[in-house]
A and B are shown apart, each in its own frame.
Chain A
Amino acid sequence: MLEKESNPTLSKSTGLPRKRFYRARAHSNPLSDSHFPVPVSPSHVDFSLHYPQFFPSSSEVGCLKKIQFADIGCGFGGLLISLSTLFPETLMIGMELRDKVTEYVKERILALRGSDPGQYQNVSVVRTNSMKYIPNYFEKGQLTKMFFLFPDPHFKEKNHRRRVISPHLLDEYAYVLGVGGIIYTITDVEELGDWMKSCLESHPMFESLKEEELEADPVVKLLCSATEEGQKVSRNGGQTFQAVFRRIVPTSLYMKTDMVC
């Protein structure tokens, strides 16, 4: 931080970090044992580190605001940056497994906070394996939006269990999403698009958004335009496949209707 002026990884004109210094592998194995720190439970996450302006001291952890948006596999963070100004009062976090990419997003947010004082205070990033540790970060029903944009397609059938949208993982996403919360998915791979759509369609706790609801949602437009991957696809004139679903209360699935709250 001290050598900010002379830091060669930051662009001289914009002050933003330059991607060439954060070269990363395109993929990371979500199945391997993780060796980064993971919070024991959501109450152990120190929000004052992520959102210093919203949480001035670490003593007030957990009492004020909760994270509402999660971008799973946020990549270089394009969507988060756009959402940050669109929903300035909503806390949002990006989750990324690749170490260097996470570092890039961290630097990018810090640089933006520096150049636009008061802005981008509601956005942060964390390096984690969201497929394993989502319940360690979010409480039940805490989130209102989850994003899965251009995830790794994992074409081989043997590797389908590495896909970030899968029937079993949707149970966990349904757990952290509040009723009415929305899950956004988009991909440029048709096969994966079909897969994500069919997973969501056959899950009893999600229902598809109607056409007019999609039209009215300003976030839907960002899926393509805000993300680095989305821009790449439209640059190359590629097609995208999106699936946007709402978390609902499952109907008549259970033995006991008089469940303890």
Chain B
Amino acid sequence: MEDNQIEEGEKNTNVEVAPALISVHPTQNSVAVAVGSDLRVYDLLGDCAVSLVDDSGATSHKDSIRAIRYGANGKLFVSAGDDKVVKIWSAESWQCICTVSSEKRVSAVAISNDGQHVCFADKFGVVWVVDLHGIDGSEASVSKTAAPLLAHYCSIITGLEFSPDGQYVVSADRDFKIRVTIFPKKPLDGAHEIQSFCLGHTEFVSCLAFVITLDYPQGFLVSGSGDSTVRLWDITSGSLLDTCEVDAKAGHLESNGSDEGYSTVTDLCAIPDTTLVAAAIQSLQGVMLLSCNLSTKTLSVAKVISINFIPTSLASGSSTGLLWMVTGVSNLPGFDCPTVSRVKVISGFNKSSLEHKPIALEDNEIPGGTKLVEKLQGSVTVDEKVLTAAAEALKAAMCNLLIKKQYSVEKREFRKRTRNDRKTKQ
């Protein structure tokens, strides 16, 4: 009986659900959503759905996509995930210009500010770098090999960002660490010089973002974590500037009053040209807006926008005043439709003031309208019930992946007796 329960528990963790992801072109030329192995792109300039051009086969990815991102100059787009393949796309022709295979599953990607290097992190804590010199996308897709750049000791890397000035590459992991490494002139030889470690989180770090304004072009780093805080850092020294507790604010808004204590921050998005940071929080219906005061170096909760929607990923293009959100999941157990996603947009983020109340747009008010919604969601309407189940499944998946498991003495003994290496010998 006891044995069965444990077996079942183990089995459940084998079905890995992946959150839906969203990314917006820096000048909002296009929007991309990834759900499961499906990559959907909508061209806002041409107002049409994009069909991806990939020589390597009909499906670009064979397993859940875990990371997508546009390059800062808007020319490149990268997607990668559980199928251990990194695809680098031209964000103009949407042709796959380069395919890189990884030894392990990929958990995060980043593109250097000059668009010459793509970095990706795997679940064993190694960050790899691909040199794109000589690839202009005019020829057919090429295969490249990646060189190891740096490593967190066997810890899942959850976030990867280049600093706004391109001087540093910042990586976050599930061992509570944020590492700031000087990005070298020859990245293929590795990045050996660590500028700082940003230490202060007491649970896994889940996401990173840079807040940039005209007065502070070098930007400040903000990080979200499983310890239900968002923290503001000075990356040059690694010092913690401020900590913003989000669970107190998010807690009383929870309708179901779950007593799990922590409200994990799942994604952060700095709204361009403002000092606002939008935070997606597990089990919070809506988004929380944090205001970052860069002169006093403080971070505080500005506002909670309540909508009937728990976003899994946030994105924003520059100067548009729009926050794009997606919620959804792949491999949802117990439903006919294995992947589900819903896109929403909040508008009204004008220069650093919140006087004009940010509001969630109806589907037909979103740029691209219902055509965009249909492309990115796969269907026009989505059952709310499925989304609730999706949120629960994601919460469980994130716990399984990132939270360190605590075992009782008996359970530990039991696990020792049923070790994998012995099982195979039987």
Contacts and interface: CB of A to CB of B under 8 A. Distances in A.
Contacts of B192: 170-171, 174, 203-205, 250, 253
Given A136-B199, A140-B196, A171-B194, A253 B184 contact: yes
A205 B153 CA distance: 19
A256 B218 CA distance: 15
B191 to A, nearest CB: 8
A40 B40 CA distance: 41
B404 interface: yes
Contacts of B196: 140
A160 interface: no
Interface string B128-153: 00000000000000000000101101
Interface string B269-310: 000000000000000000000000000000000000000000
A48 to B, nearest CB: 21
Interface stretch (A90-98, A108-116, A161-169): A161-169
A178 B193 CA distance: 13
A256 B185 CA distance: 9
A182 B190 CA distance: 22
B176 interface: yes
B167 A256 contact: yes
Contacts of A131: 153
A92 to B, nearest CB: 22
Interface in A121-178: 131-133, 135-136, 140, 161, 167-172, 174-175
Interface in A10-46: 30-31, 33-35, 40-42
A260 interface: yes
Given A33-B405, A161-B154, A174-B193, A168 B148 contact: yes
Given A168-B126, A171-B150, A253-B184, A40 B193 contact: no
Interface in A206-261: 250, 253-256, 259-260
A203 B199 CA distance: 26
Given A135-B197, A204-B192, A40 B202 contact: yes
B153 A175 contact: no
Contacts of B179: 135
Interface in B159-191: 167, 175-177, 179, 181-186, 189-191
Contacts of B181: 171
Nearest to B193: A250
A255 B150 contact: no
Given A174-B192, A174-B193, A40 B199 contact: yes
A260 B234 CA distance: 13
A135 B177 contact: yes
B176 A167 contact: no
A132 B185 contact: no
A31 B404 CA distance: 13
B369 interface: no
Contacts, number: 83
B194 A253 contact: no
Nearest to B238: A140
B236 interface: yes
B320 interface: no
Contacts of B240: 41
Contact of B200 (A31, A33, A41): A41
B186 A253 contact: yes
B153 A132 contact: yes
Contact of A253 (B167, B175, B193): B193
B194 A254 contact: no
B426 interface: no
Contacts of A30: 153-154
Contact of A33 (B124, B185, B194, B404): B404
A206 B177 CA distance: 25
Contacts of B148: 167-168
Contacts of B194: 140, 171-172, 174-175
A135 B154 CA distance: 15
Given A175-B194, A254-B182, A255-B185, A260 B236 contact: yes
A255 B200 contact: no
Contacts of B153: 30, 131-132, 168-169, 172
A75 B179 CA distance: 29
A54 B418 CA distance: 48
A253 B406 CA distance: 43
A21 to B, nearest CB: 21
The 4 A-B pairs at the shortest CB distance, nearest first, are namely A168-B151, A41-B199, A175-B194, A135-B197
Given A161-B154, A260-B236, 19 more contacts: A30-B154, A33-B405, A35-B404, A41-B199, A131-B153, A132-B175, A167-B148, A170-B192, A171-B151, A171-B190, A204-B189, A250-B193, A253-B185, A253-B186, A253-B189, A253-B193, A255-B167, A255-B185, A259-B167
20 contacts: A31-B154, A35-B404, A35-B406, A41-B240, A132-B153, A135-B177, A135-B199, A167-B148, A167-B190, A168-B148, A169-B153, A171-B151, A171-B190, A172-B153, A175-B194, A175-B197, A204-B192, A253-B186, A253-B193, A259-B167
